[in-house]
Structure 1
Amino acid sequence: MVKRKYDPNYLKNGFSYIEDKNGQKPQCVLCSEVLANESMKPSKLKRHLETKHPASKDKPVEFFQRRLQELRASQKCLTASCSKQEQALRASYLVAHRIAKAKKPHTVAEELILPAAMDMVREVLDQSAADKLITIPLSNDTIARRIEDMSGNIKQQTTARIQASPYYALQMDESTDIANHAILLVYVRHVWDGDLQEQFLCSRDLPTTTKAEDIFNTLDLYLSSLGLSWEYCVGITTDGAASMTGKHSGVVKRILERAPNATWNHCFLHREALAAKNMVPLLDEALTNVIKVVNHIKRSAKSSRCFSHLCKDLGSEHMQVLYHSEVHWLSRGKVLSCFYELKTEIATFLSETNSPYAELFDNEMWLVRVAKLLCSRKRSHCG
């Protein structure tokens, strides 16, 4: 079908035109109504004018020219307004993204970031430029919605990539936080764009017990909600906890029944932690003494403050030593690293406080063993 073309003479009937992918369409300059391309005929345009705008049917063409200019101006203003709104919306999402990454309260956007940004723009540019920032929505609720939107988008992308992958593998761990909430953390590895990708999949609460049945049902329900089938799961990695690796009803056993192509791997970090519990006696003694020294420094608020003040006076990179926890066994490496970097400050502090642990730092072999422990931790993580 041949598309009709606009003729400038149509303006005397009160019509201009717009153009899109389907061709030109007549647009009334009085009411802004857009007609179909088939209506691009003088008779149909005139009928529209006489029917809907009878008071203007005898107006000269100059009248319609003025109305056309007004229509174009309003459209231009609307386009500019929409563009500014889109820019403000993007800026709002960018700020929300930074707040989420920095793990800051949502109120920081409106209470700190926006006023600070306005101050900087006002000083570097001018007041009018600073006033434009006011249009950026940064309220507490807005930032929360932005973060939820981005979270949902990431979830959709991750789900789509896993679904597009020929197979996937899971790594999971059940742990308890400082508020005694049981949490199941799950990571996923899949193929995307010809390469292996590893991403955080989910964090799910375990409201009551943490039995194998609870863990499996929670995971199974979540995967079902994403439309993922166990059929394509080819790998499972967990620690050696009984609820995970129980021979008859553990989580791994239940998964392998649903995912016949999957194989189980014991988390190498957990294996390392188990092996470290039966380390060479001399190294075990060295680690035990490190923990005793740390606990001695952190035994009271006064002792901790005095040590921090000493570190500050000596220009140390760290102001405190870290606590070691048997529950959070990954903390050993951080404790050793911080301890060794502060060994001079610790030795000085223990000597000034007449602590019996000061003698340890006169024993070069003990320091060598501590260094060996630290090097072993670094090599295992690099490997």
Structure 2
Amino acid sequence: MVPSKLIRHLKTKHSPYSGKNKDFFQRILSQNKKQKHFMKSTFTVSEKAVEASYHVAKLIARQKKPHNIGEELIKPACLEVVGLMLGQKEAEEVRKVSLSAETIKRRIGDMSEDLLETLLNKLKTSGKFSLQTDETTDIKKQAQLLAVVRFVDDNAIAEEYLFCIELPERTTGQDIFRVTNEFFTANGIYWSDCINLCTDGASAMLGKGKGFATLAKQQNPAIQVTHCCIHREALMTKVLPEELSKAIKPALTL
């Protein structure tokens, strides 16, 4: 823009500054640059604090510790260590990391959803997969349905945990199929892509009329049903002679 138009713009749009000298505008420019640098630095620290919070949440989840341990033990310990080793200024930066029980719970939930989304994308890219399911009971005597999938991922066989869903009513083959089918439908997984189903020998799984495997084959008759090898080994150990049983049981617990 030509100088004459700049002067006209200054007098018409910013008349309070039209009488100011060059030093005034240079000072304003310097202040704006400092403020921009401060905002960028603050935003970077905030990003690092969130990232650190996720890392701590991952450690808590892996160690199966209560969520409140972050705020009650981990954060105070970090403040003490950083304060003594690096100084109180650095310790104040650590204080910005949110480790409350609710935050840890939310972080773990976010990571779980991200892992599931990544796994589902790999399943859909692979096209075909095999499914292994088992029903178990937790410490509260509540039935839980676990599922593991195997598929080809980058020319290698991958085996990943798919879900663990509470069975709210009974543990019949129909209930197990309903829970699994609802998960498949909600996440865009098709029975036509399942080529193998591995279960134990329970009637709820292999029953001819209403077993889980029977209902799954109604959705895709091409599914091959196999008996879990680990379950066969567990059954075998029940009838082994005592001298052989002592040798093989430690191996089964690894």
After TM superposition, the score normalised by the length of structure 2 is 0.92
Do structure 1's residue 210 and structure 2's residue 82 form an aligned pair? no
CA shift digits 1:211-262 (9 cap, x unpaired): 1111101100001111011111111110000010011221101111212332
Q: Which residue pairs with 2:93 in the alignment?
A: 132
8 Å Cα contact 2:237/2:249 also seen in 1: no
Structure with max Cα Rg: 1
Q: Name the counterpart of 2:48.
A: 87
Report how far residue 132 of structure 1 moved: 1.7
Give a deviation string over 1:57-92, Cα, whole Å, max 9, x none: 343333221111111110011111111111111111
Whichever residue aligns with residue 242 of structure 1, its letter is: S
Q: Which residue of 2 aligns with 1:260?
A: 221
Q: Alignment partner for residue 115 of structure 1, among 64, 76, 85? A: 76
Asked if the contact 1:232–1:261 (Cα under 8 Å) also holds between the matched residues in 2, the reply is no
Larger deviation: 52-61 or 226-235? 52-61
Q: Counterparts of 1:1-383 in structure 2 under 5 Å?
A: 49-279=10-240, 283=241, 286=242, 369=243, 372-377=244-249
The aligned amino acid for 2:84 is E
Task: Please give the alpha-carbon distance, in whole angstroms, between the structure 2 residues aligned to 1:86 and 1:178.
Answer: 38
Given that residues 182 and 205 in structure 1 are in contact (C-alpha distance below 8 angstroms), is that contact kept between their aligned partners in structure 2?
Answer: yes
CA contact (8 A) 2:173 2:204 kept: yes
- The answer to whether the Cα contact below 8 Å between 2:143 and 2:167 also exists between their aligned partners in 1 is yes
Contact 2:177 2:212 in 1 (8 A): yes
* 1:92 aligned counterpart, secondary structure: helix
- Closer, same or farther: CA 207–59 of 1 in aligned 2, 3 Å: same
Task: Please state whether the residue corresponding to 1:138 is helix, strand or coil.
Answer: coil
Number of matched pairs:
254
SS of equivalent residue, structure 2 residue 169: coil
Amino acid across the alignment from 1:254 = L
Structure 2: runs of 5 or more not aligned = none
Distance 1:226 1:117 in 2: 40
Query: For residues 176 and 2 of structure 2, what CA distance do their matches in structure 1 show?
Result: 71
Following superposition, the deviation at residue 203 of structure 1 comes to 0.7
Deviation by residue 1:175-223 (Cα, 9 ceiling, x = unmatched)? 2223221111111111212211111111111111111111101100001
Q: What SS does structure 2 have at the residue aligned with 1:247? A: coil
CA shift digits 1:355-379 (9 cap, x unpaired): xxxxxxxxxxxxxx2xx32333466
Query: Structure 1 residues 102 and 379 mapped into 2: Cα distance closer, same or farther (>3 Å)?
Result: closer
Q: Deviations over 1:264-305 (max 9, x none)?
A: 1101111122223333xxx2xx3xxxxxxxxxxxxxxxxxxx
User: For the residues of structure 1 that align with 2:6 and 2:48, how far apart are their CA atoms?
Assistant: 39
Q: Any idea what SS the aligned residue of 1:210 has?
A: coil
Q: Note the residue ranges of structure 1 that are not aligned, 5 or more in a row.
A: 1-39, 287-368
